[in-house]
Amino acid sequence: MQINKEKKIKEIDQEIEKLKELEKREKISLDDAINALMERKKSLLNKLDFWDRVFLARHPDRPYTLYYIENMFAEFTQFHGDRLFGDDLSMITGFAKLDGIDVCVVGHQKGRGTENKIERNFGMPHPEGYRKAARIFKLADKFNIPIITLIDTPGAYPGIEAEKRGQAVAIAENLKLMFKLDVPIIACIIGEGGSGGALGIAVADHIAMLENSVYSVISPEGCASIIWRDASYAREAASNLKITAKDLIELKVIDHIIKEPAGGAQNDPRLVYDTLKDHLKNIISELKDKENLKAQRIEKFRRLGIFK
């Protein structure tokens, strides 16, 4: 939701608190007033539009990949580096246990606080990030370990060094590679699904989105500055692009939506990782004995496209 909407809700919460204190202190009943405020809050929360969701997907307190890893899995063992150039800290890769099941986990990682944000490059990988992911995908495939990817990036980094080291090649090769893996791949967009940078680890047998995440071919700002030649048309661009979980399930681009608590994942992260964990367990058990996963994955993506 937008900042002013979030502020309003906080103010209502504070008011409710005050009224409750008053009730205790003065031993009177203020139920009517409190209920009225609750209703107002509810109606604000129910009216989340696509632009609120862009705000929530980028919310500074939104849980990031490592948070989910720490809370959903046991024995997480991180692997570093692409064995070609370096270790990209905006991409996390490793193995872990999901209630006893071995899984491979790959995800974008954003930072919190200026220093950490820069260290994680705002969740925007360089080619070595995608190549690290590729290396770990192959490792998982070799030892028959299902892959879970968590997507949260504004996009792959657009810079001189990234171009020199082949950003386009790195992403393209991941796309093809992911159609060659025999193990199940399950993807979940947990925040921002930014274009090719997201897709580079999001080719999967099953794709879920958190309710307030977004997934788009281009950021609303980028689209606005290209098409309208003015980034301030971002809202208009977002409305045209159709980037919410609800839009994407209608287009059959994703398979499932994970509910979030009122006002966004940051309000009750535990509820979100519990739901996501159950979902992942269900899908893994559904996919683990399926034959011909690779062919079905290709077929799933072949069907995507609308034309006449």
Nearer to other proteins, 105 or 187 (CB): 187
Nearer to other proteins, 93 or 219 (CB): 219
User: Half-sphere exposure of residue 196, counting CA atoms within 13 Å on the CB side?
Assistant: 15
Residue from 136, 148, 151, 156 binding other proteins (CB under 8 A):
156
Site for other proteins in 201-260 (CB under 8 A): 203, 215-218, 222-223, 226-228, 240-243, 247-248, 251, 253
CB of 31 to other proteins, least distance (A): 46
Contact between 301 and other proteins per CB under 8 A: yes
Number of residues near other proteins (by CB under 8 A): 51
3-state secondary structure of 263: coil
**Contacts (Cβ under 8 Å, ≥6 apart) of 70:** 76
Contact between 97 and other proteins per CB under 8 A: no
Q: Are strands 74-79 and 91-98 parallel, antiparallel or unpaired?
A: antiparallel
| Contacting range for other proteins; rule: CB under 8 A; set: 55-63, 159-167, 262-270, 275-283 | 159-167
Contact between 187 and other proteins per CB under 8 A: no
**Main-chain dihedrals φ then ψ at residue 169, nearest 5 degrees:** -65, -45
Nearer to other proteins, 44 or 150 (CB): 150
CB of 110 to other proteins, least distance (A): 17
Contact between 176 and other proteins per CB under 8 A: yes
Asked whether the beta carbons of 191 and 58 are under 8 A apart, the reply is yes
Distance, in Å, from the CA atom of 93 to the CA atom of 111, rounded to the nearest integer, reads: 16
**Main-chain dihedrals φ then ψ at residue 268, nearest 5 degrees:** -155, 70
Nearest CA to 51 among 220, 189, 217? 220
| Contacting range for other proteins; rule: CB under 8 A; set: 60-68, 104-112, 267-275, 298-306 | 298-306
Residue from 125, 196, 263, 264 binding other proteins (CB under 8 A):
196
Contact between 179 and other proteins per CB under 8 A: yes
The single-letter DSSP state of residue 224 is I
Nearer to other proteins, 240 or 267 (CB): 240
Q: Are strands 214-216 and 91-98 parallel, antiparallel or unpaired?
A: unpaired
- Paired strand residues for 110: none
Contact between 34 and other proteins per CB under 8 A: no
**Main-chain dihedrals φ then ψ at residue 197, nearest 5 degrees:** -65, -30
CB of 28 to other proteins, least distance (A): 54
Asked whether the beta carbons of 23 and 30 are under 8 A apart, the reply is yes
Amino acid residing at 5: K
- Paired strand residues for 167: none
Enumerate binding residues for other proteins (CB under 8 A): 156-160, 162-169, 171-173, 175-176, 179-180, 195-196, 199-200, 203, 215-218, 222-223, 226-228, 240-243, 247-248, 251, 253, 297-298, 301-302, 304-308
